[in-house]
Structure 1
Amino acid sequence: MKKILLSFVFTLTIFNLFAQKNGSITGILADSANHKTTLNYSTISVYKVGDSALTTYKLSDDKGVFKINNLAVGLKYRLVVTAWQYGTFRKEVEITAANPVLNLGTLYLSTKANDLNEVVISAERPPVIVRKDTIEFNAESFKTLPSAVVEDLLKKLPGVSIAADGSIQVNGKAVSKILVDGKEFFGGDQQIATKNLPANIIDKVQVVDDKQAKRRDPDLTAAEIPQIINLKLKKAIKKGAFGKLYAGGGLKELYQAGGLMNFFRDTTQVSVLAYGNNINQPGFNPNDVQRIGGFNRSGINSMMMNTGGYFEFNGINFGGTYSGVQTSSGGGFNFNTINKKGIKFNTQYFFGRSDNLLEKLTNTNQTLGTDRLITNANENTTSLILKHNIGGKLDWQIDSLTQLTIEPAVVLNSNNSVSKISSSNNNANNQLINTLENLNDRNTSSNKYQLRADFHQDFKKTGRSFNVGTDISATPNPIVNYNRSNSIFYLTPSTSEIDQLRDNTIDNFRAYIYANYMEPVSKKLNFKVDVSGNIINNENALNTFYRNPANQLYDIVVPGLSQTVKQSGFKTNANISLRYKITKDLYIQPGLVHNYISLNNSFTNAADIDQRYNFIWPTFQLKYKILSFNYSAGFAEPNVSYLQPVADNTNAFYIRNGNPNLLPARTQNLSLNMYKYDPKSLINYNLYGYGNFTKNGIVNAITINNGVQTVNPVNMSGIYNFQGGANISKDFRKDKNSLKIGLGFWGNFDHRPVIINNIQSNADVFYIGPNGNIRLNLNDKVEISQSYSINLNRSKYDDSFYTNISYNTQQSASELIIRYPKKLVFETNYAITINTQTIAGYNNNIKFWNAAVTYLFMKNDRAQLKFSVNDILQSNVRRNIQITGNSIIDTQSNNLGRYGMLTLTYNIQNFGQKVGGRQTFFNF
């Protein structure tokens, strides 16, 4: 509480600093011809008289009104007003102590007689120009450090926000592409330019609507249309290369090294990268891989990330792990080009390798009426993961109305792991029920072969469009598992031993075909048809063998543990809807969807099961200004692994059965979204919510006998889930200082049946989490940030057999960055997690403290020498708690702990300029 009060006092002090008012200027902009038309979103630039440096600026609102605060009293200022299609207006004013609030009344601007005759004063270039469909920022008006990249420039632009994952928003709208001089040098990758291009080569930053996204989805409202950022380079910037090389080492034989280069010339881009380390870090951060690897151009089909640094794109592990100890390495290349006909080509190959050691302690506490089942497990797992990714993409803009995209991809993944688990079960009286020693030696391959294609056609008639596409994939995944275990039971004395080989191959094939057509019936009414079909052909082949005592080979077939399941069929979805525009800002789109599914489940040792279902259900969309609401419904077939009637006994205390009689689930989905950014007040807020209702969903019915759990998946209805949240943030700016304050709230409610020992209860699980953050930037010299969140976790049951569960988690994170003196950067971050769930031997207060100092040298600070210390307090623990069914699962795992690292980084930013005929090594 003391920390929170201090943060509150600090926030009030900073807020008061930014809220101080010296003097202000107000006025209204209007057309000089009719005196009635007001000029919205015009730029008012303020300069001190006799000084060409921009003091501040403001945009007029939608009624032409402007107000400029925080102007010093006793100074003369020069106002420069710039409006699209109007001539430049200039006026000198003075703020005095006697008249600190200066009202200029209505200022009249004249339309331009001839753009070509306009005299441009370069010293008065407005920082922002708003045209009909374009916002243009003058890069020179937003000062950055000599070593700054485009991302640093974008952070200074009003209305532009960059998230921790590198995603960009402008005025609350997501950025879908970044172009350079109007060309997709990097396939529209959002970060290939922002993280690498120096800010000092940018002349203008232009923001426009993504018209292609609007064509692909005509239902998008103005608030939902993504944005495109176009970086206009300074003259003579025609070709170049950029990237970085780094190497570091520390005690305990720790190391990291890597390099990545990106060469570009006109419409061609070539990237290469390689890395290796044993400090649980990815070779590059996710932003590096996206921009250099060209994943955004070739397409990110799957992405997995966590706060510990681990991430995957398209199934490729680029290193990094939240828990355990890992050594990782990898490399690859990417090639992008555009031919004279405008066809974009991409090819890429990546290889990744990681060696992992995971030591994990798990405590699972289950409530069973007056009794409990308390499981303690100690796991030691070593694994070697090898992954290859081969991909390509062809994107052809055939003409202004027609586009074709083809994307093939191959992912090859192998995981060889050896896991040793020692576990024990106790009851509520702390009596030992049983113990288990288990060894699993698994060789797994997860491969994927995929082809995606999409054809889009617009027509000359506005609103008419046609789209057709397909997504075909085959995923053969063989699993070979050598499993040995020994179990001892104490309440009913006995022992059990397993020594077997499970050869399991899961082959999934899917061919998804879709098409949609929109036809405008009138100015207010549109007719839309969406149809799709999904061909399904899956197989789960399992063969189990016992070890032969005679020859020590696994060649004794176990018929009761061997079975082949084949799932084949198709499902279709046809949606017909009418979009009616009620007012300028409001439209509704009611419709009907017909879902049909036909499945045949065949078994080697049982009769086939045919399933055919269909239903007609209403759909509905409503959009009003920034608010959108959607409702739909559909089928989802059970995964073929659930249909396998053979038990999975690789964990002798947790046996999983299959159910060949499982039915497809029918789900109703609804969503609510609202997003708004106010450029006048610099306030950004959003509200979102999602929900689903499921009939015939899959629920695990568990039987517990003598400490052994047997799981049987069954169909159940009455399953529903709701999740949502709200966020609001406000920016304060004064001179070169900025303050951002944000508040948020999220929640999740899950209602589903729980079945233990034939006792059924409804479980209501709540997760509620308010949060807040503040970030202060003082002239890029000092940055301070603080965030705090509390998660309230509750689980309630309507049967007394189960005990309600409750615990809270508090998290606080602080960061301090000091860029002073000029060539030094100090940075430190401190995080603490406090959990009220108390279990013996587990640390509930986990503290992390990291710090680093960086020395910048060479021209433009291209070289950096960084000394960093990780986990200064030697916390050496990773902890995660979750509620599942009637259980609290509390997990603790190992990590590297405290270590120091000295790293040298050299940033390569060469750009050939035809000045004096000089060429550079990296130009090609």
Structure 2
Amino acid sequence: MMKRYLLFLLLLAASSLAQAQKTTSARVIGNIFSDVAGQPLEGAFLLLTPVDKEGEKPQQTIADAEGNFEFTIPSGGKYKLQAQFLGYSPWTGILYFESGKRNAVPTINLPATTMVLDTLEIIGQTVAMEVKEDTTVFMAAAYKTRPEAVAEDLISKLPGIDVDLSGNVTAQGEEVKKVLVDGKPFFGDDPKIALQNLPVEIIEKVEMIDEQSEQARFTGFDDGDRNKVLNIITNKSKQYGKFGKGTLGYGTDNRYTASGSLNLFKGDQRISILGMSNNINEQNFSMQDIMGAIGGGGRGRRGQGGRGGGGGMSSMMDQSQNFLSNNNNGISQTNALGVNYTDKWGKNWDVTASYFFNSKNTVLEQYSFREYILSDMDNQRMDQNSVSESNNVNHRLTARLENKINDRNSILIQPTISFQNYDNIDHWEQVTYLDEGDTLNYSDNESYSDKAGVNFSNSILYRHKFKKDRRTFSVNLTNTAYTSSGLSNDWALTQQIQNGMFVSDTTDQQTESDTRQWGMSANTSYTEPIGKYGMLQLGYNVAYNENNADTYSRAFNYESGEYDEILEQQSNVFESNSLRHRPFTRYQWSNRTVTFATGVAYQMTDMQNSSIYPHSGDYHYQFHNVLPEASFSYRPSRRSRLRITYNTQTSLPSINNLQDIVDMSDPLNVSLGNPELQQEMSNVFRLNYRKFSPENGQFFFANLSATTTQDKISTATWIAQSDTTLADGTQIARGTTITQSVNLDGYFNSRATVSYGFPVEVLRSNLTLTTNGQYTRQVGLTNNVQAYTHNGLIGQSIKLSSNISEDVDFNLSWSTNYYMINNELQANSNNNYFQHSLQLKYRQRFLDRFFIGGTGRLLMYNGLDTGDDPSIFLLSANIGAQVLKNNRGEISLSVYDILNQNQSIARTVSESYIEDTYSTVLTQYAMLTFTYNLSDFRPPKRPRGMPDRDTMRMMMN
């Protein structure tokens, strides 16, 4: 009883304290405008200083795009408010604010001036961030970077944003898939190109946007769907001129690098040219793989089941965690060239277009050890080693053309086309055996493949606003076309146990494949206001897709010396067509604080699958689905927001999984198509909360997501326990692995990320603490037994980013992840282990021109079931000097992997096996590099006799 009473008193005291704090603090809001044209003064600086309050520090903020500003003060009282904006007379006022209330400051109107004014003293750090609607703005000047740094160096310092060693960017726990420059695409949707090529010196601020779709932004109807986008705002003084960088380097083992960029900015017209060539695994772009060809040679390569579904969760020593700044397994030689063009044509057309070419040659050696998870026999294991060489060539062109016809009508056209050529030579050996060491089979394989593909898509969006506010109509037409063709030669020598004896067999075949897909869709939307805060949306979506796959396999004829013996069981002509109708309706209620939306769609899908050769068969399916959705957004202040969304979605199987074919290009790893696959249906829940405090540089965000999937396209795996004959007569030896895609219920995935960051003034750095968790329940069939594999992860990381000066730059981080693997079939396969990582990136300039720097990473593991807990210490360093006028040149000597410890180890966990893979990576080398930075900015000249902007404002006044 006493314990309950004490608990009650503690809760009452906490409640009273919270209430007292709530009623004592006060909000101060206001807006600031130009008195010349009544325009909001975005970026105006405001300083709030307490009067006669000892110990309370002044606060500072900046106005957003609408001229709004906000302070939160610990208690009411008398304050001095000061406002200033370049080119305007400052404003000062003494105001009294009441505790526990929302205090509105009278609108501030600043008069323009041509006089040189004293500036307000900025207390502590420069204002680092501001929040407006779904956008967080970071001021570049508040984050110290070296003068020659690129955008990626700045981005990695921003609160809530992480850049991994491969250049992938996450913002508030979500992947960033697009980076804009002044609101326009830069080389399409490839984030790496912008972040690794644009210099920091041209950046004024960076916007982190929760971007809605084009239709949602136009209609004002929030469907709850968001993508994280970074928008780099360039400094107006840097929008006229030319800038860029050139680098040449040569090192030991014939390592080399050469790269260059040139940017020609002339206001709205901007031309950027990029190029690079190296053999040190560096690339400043994202690879395109429109055919799904990268990562394998022959079909069904390495026992992964070319047509089987099921992915794994890469959980141990993931490749992206390795030391390389742009890590790729193997040794790669890369060549790339790109051009980006942005301009404004006339009064109405905004145009952006880009072309990018890249060619990559990779030599890779791998060793893998796989343990199959079986319930009714001793565990089966497979060891494999391989050597491969691949060439991947890509061309991609993108464009964005927007015509603002008038105030009520606009049209947006976005075409994209990609070309890919891929060839691969692969040799691998495989041994399968039981736990006690008995060998089941052996194979020696060679594969050569040559593939080419073209992928085209285009979107046309027409938008119309009626005279009545919030009444809109839009229609989005899209069409896609894809074609690929390939030729692969597969040779294999297999030794298998049959009737207690080893029997050898040779496979020599050639496979010709041709895939064609095209589709078109139309999405219409009409919105109608209902009252002051309500809105109704009515829409209709229709989509048609047609898919064709032709596959012909032929055996080598030793008499004719040609591949002319058709293998009917491995050949197939298949068609899959689908037609979808989806009418939908949504209702939204929204004010400045709360937005709630709900809707429902009725989807009717007709899927017709047909096998034409070597046998005919029709598979006709109709799916009728009711798809509800809902979203809720609560914004208690401009700087905090809670968003909750729920939606349902469906996905049809791909033609590669549907095609009715037996793939025996790798005789010991056979894959089957499944023309009876059904569509998937998923329920997705997301929760996101964020809060920023620009005055003290603190931020907090939390993300939670959960997905359940019915009829998940997963993998069924059969391990032949005796010599077997398939339904089509194909002979399968004991120990052979057979995979096929199947629909299974029970898949579940959830993720959670919580992050808190704040400046550490004594270190003049920013500290970020992040806790993350993940749980995945995969479902699969193994020898006709359905079972779940549970993969869990709990992790904690600490990141310290310097903000000391341009001469000292470092990033220090520590992370610990605890992995949990549990399979219901085999408890012996369960494994829980730790992964620890310590990483430091450092650079310091001294004696004005000289610098020293380096990167180091310690990677450790504890508890692996392999009996070996590896630790890897990767260390690189460089030293150099800046030369030429204005330090435009730089000479440096760098040594990569000083201790020669670099390696790549990855663990993959699937429904039916656990596999550890060791891959060759780039190791120790030294390189001498020269870099030249071009920076020549020249604002346009005013016609003779024309007054400057400030004088014109005074004249207008």
1:294-373 correspondence to structure 2 within 5 Å: 306=320, 322-369=328-375, 371-373=378-380
Task: Determine helix, strand or coil for the equivalent of 1:371.
Answer: coil
Change over 3 Å in CA distance of 1:710–1:256 after alignment to 2: same
Cα distance in 1 for residues equivalent to 2:674 and 2:511: 19
Cα distance in 1 for residues equivalent to 2:184 and 2:422: 41
The answer to whether the aligner puts 1:892 opposite 2:918 as a matched pair is yes
Change over 3 Å in CA distance of 1:752–1:117 after alignment to 2: closer
Per the alignment, residue 796 of structure 2 pairs with 770
Cα distance in 2 for residues equivalent to 1:238 and 1:799: 63
1:746-825 correspondence to structure 2 within 5 Å: 746-799=772-825, 803-825=829-851
How much has 1:144 moved relative to structure 2? 7.5
Change over 3 Å in CA distance of 1:131–1:635 after alignment to 2: closer
Task: Choose from 588, 591, 599 the match for 1:591.
Answer: 599
The answer to whether the aligner puts 1:655 opposite 2:670 as a matched pair is yes
Cα distance in 1 for residues equivalent to 2:211 and 2:777: 40
Cα distance in 1 for residues equivalent to 2:206 and 2:904: 43
Per the alignment, residue 461 of structure 2 pairs with 454
Cα distance in 1 for residues equivalent to 2:780 and 2:878: 49
Contact 2:190-2:286 at 8 Å conserved across structures? no
Change over 3 Å in CA distance of 1:122–1:695 after alignment to 2: same
The AA in structure 2 aligned to 1:257 is A
The AA in structure 1 aligned to 2:337 is G
Cα distance in 2 for residues equivalent to 1:696 and 1:209: 31
Per the alignment, residue 743 of structure 1 pairs with 769
Contact 2:480-2:519 at 8 Å conserved across structures? yes
How much has 1:513 moved relative to structure 2? 2.3
Deviation digits for residues 203-228 of structure 1 (CA, Å, limit 9, x no counterpart): 99999999987435531799999886
Contact 2:355-2:397 at 8 Å conserved across structures? yes
The answer to whether the aligner puts 1:632 opposite 2:647 as a matched pair is yes
Greater shift in the superposed pair: 750-759 or 881-890: 750-759
The answer to whether the aligner puts 1:533 opposite 2:580 as a matched pair is no
Cα distance in 2 for residues equivalent to 1:195 and 1:354: 19
Q: TM-score, normalised by structure 2?
A: 0.76
Cα distance in 1 for residues equivalent to 2:592 and 2:626: 31
Select the structure with the greater relative contact order (CA < 8 A; seq sep ≥ 6).
2
The answer to whether the aligner puts 1:711 opposite 2:728 as a matched pair is no
1:350-499 correspondence to structure 2 within 5 Å: 350-369=356-375, 371-490=378-497, 492-499=501-508
Change over 3 Å in CA distance of 1:45–1:179 after alignment to 2: farther
The AA in structure 2 aligned to 1:394 is L
Contact 1:210-1:227 at 8 Å conserved across structures? no
Task: Determine helix, strand or coil for the equivalent of 1:446.
Answer: strand
How much has 1:622 moved relative to structure 2? 1.9
Per the alignment, residue 516 of structure 1 pairs with 525
Cα distance in 2 for residues equivalent to 1:258 and 1:622: 48
Greater shift in the superposed pair: 393-402 or 196-205: 196-205
Cα distance in 2 for residues equivalent to 1:173 and 1:636: 22
Change over 3 Å in CA distance of 1:151–1:538 after alignment to 2: closer
Change over 3 Å in CA distance of 1:350–1:143 after alignment to 2: closer
Task: Determine helix, strand or coil for the equivalent of 2:764.
Answer: strand
Cα distance in 2 for residues equivalent to 1:186 and 1:570: 34
The AA in structure 2 aligned to 1:540 is A
Cα distance in 1 for residues equivalent to 2:398 and 2:113: 52
Change over 3 Å in CA distance of 1:801–1:523 after alignment to 2: same
Task: Choose from 730, 738, 747 the match for 2:758.
Answer: 730
Contact 1:414-1:445 at 8 Å conserved across structures? yes
Contact 1:58-1:66 at 8 Å conserved across structures? no
Task: Determine helix, strand or coil for the equivalent of 2:801.
Answer: strand
Deviation digits for residues 840-879 of structure 1 (CA, Å, limit 9, x no counterpart): 7977222211111232122332111121111111124211
How much has 1:81 moved relative to structure 2? 1.9
Cα distance in 1 for residues equivalent to 2:360 and 2:176: 34
Task: Choose from 875, 878, 900 the match for 1:874.
Answer: 900
Contact 2:208-2:229 at 8 Å conserved across structures? no
Task: Determine helix, strand or coil for the equivalent of 2:404.
Answer: strand
The AA in structure 2 aligned to 1:652 is P
Change over 3 Å in CA distance of 1:173–1:333 after alignment to 2: closer
Contact 2:29-2:71 at 8 Å conserved across structures? no
Task: Determine helix, strand or coil for the equivalent of 1:860.
Answer: helix
Per the alignment, residue 265 of structure 2 pairs with 264
Cα distance in 1 for residues equivalent to 2:130 and 2:819: 47
Per the alignment, residue 34 of structure 1 pairs with none
Give unpaired runs (5+ residues) of structure 2: 1-24, 31-42, 50-56, 63-68, 95-102, 288-317, 636-640, 721-733, 944-957
The answer to whether the aligner puts 1:607 opposite 2:607 as a matched pair is no
How much has 1:501 moved relative to structure 2? 0.7
Cα distance in 2 for residues equivalent to 1:326 and 1:759: 42
Change over 3 Å in CA distance of 1:898–1:359 after alignment to 2: same
Cα distance in 1 for residues equivalent to 2:204 and 2:752: 41
How much has 1:517 moved relative to structure 2? 2.5
How much has 1:436 moved relative to structure 2? 0.8
The AA in structure 1 aligned to 2:616 is A
Change over 3 Å in CA distance of 1:754–1:642 after alignment to 2: same
Task: Determine helix, strand or coil for the equivalent of 1:778.
Answer: coil
How much has 1:438 moved relative to structure 2? 0.8
Task: Choose from 665, 676, 683 the match for 2:698.
Answer: 683
The answer to whether the aligner puts 1:697 opposite 2:712 as a matched pair is yes
1:155-304 correspondence to structure 2 within 5 Å: 165=167, 214-215=217-218, 218-219=221-222, 230-234=233-237, 239-282=240-283, 284=284
Per the alignment, residue 36 of structure 1 pairs with none
Per the alignment, residue 626 of structure 2 pairs with 616
Per the alignment, residue 111 of structure 2 pairs with 115
Deviation digits for residues 64-112 of structure 1 (CA, Å, limit 9, x no counterpart): 6389xxxxxxxxxx99821799962399xxxxxxxxxxxxxxx999876
How much has 1:835 moved relative to structure 2? 2.9
Cα distance in 1 for residues equivalent to 2:225 and 2:392: 45
Deviation digits for residues 424-454 of structure 1 (CA, Å, limit 9, x no counterpart): 0121112222111011111112321222222
Task: Determine helix, strand or coil for the equivalent of 1:621.
Answer: strand
Deviation digits for residues 392-445 of structure 1 (CA, Å, limit 9, x no counterpart): 331222234433221222211111111001010121112222111011111112
The AA in structure 2 aligned to 1:718 is G
The answer to whether the aligner puts 1:58 opposite 2:60 as a matched pair is yes
The AA in structure 1 aligned to 2:568 is P
Contact 2:462-2:474 at 8 Å conserved across structures? yes
1:46-85 correspondence to structure 2 within 5 Å: 58-59=60-61, 62=70, 65=73, 81-82=82-83
How much has 1:744 moved relative to structure 2? 1.6
How much has 1:601 moved relative to structure 2? 0.5
The AA in structure 2 aligned to 1:58 is Q
Contact 1:207-1:230 at 8 Å conserved across structures? no
Greater shift in the superposed pair: 239-248 or 491-500: 491-500
Deviation digits for residues 210-263 of structure 1 (CA, Å, limit 9, x no counterpart): 9987435531799999886654534xx673111111110001111111222111
Task: Choose from 649, 671, 680 the match for 2:686.
Answer: 671
Q: How many residues align?
A: 822
Change over 3 Å in CA distance of 1:684–1:466 after alignment to 2: farther
The AA in structure 2 aligned to 1:402 is N
Deviation digits for residues 652-707 of structure 1 (CA, Å, limit 9, x no counterpart): 22111111111122222222222221223322122112222222222222111222
Greater shift in the superposed pair: 906-915 or 248-257: 906-915
Greater shift in the superposed pair: 261-270 or 866-875: 261-270
How much has 1:138 moved relative to structure 2? 9.6
Contact 2:569-2:661 at 8 Å conserved across structures? yes
The AA in structure 1 aligned to 2:521 is Y
Identity in percent: 20
Contact 2:427-2:445 at 8 Å conserved across structures? yes
Cα distance in 2 for residues equivalent to 1:202 and 1:888: 46
The AA in structure 2 aligned to 1:595 is Q
The AA in structure 2 aligned to 1:267 is D
CA RMSD of the aligned region, Å? 4.5
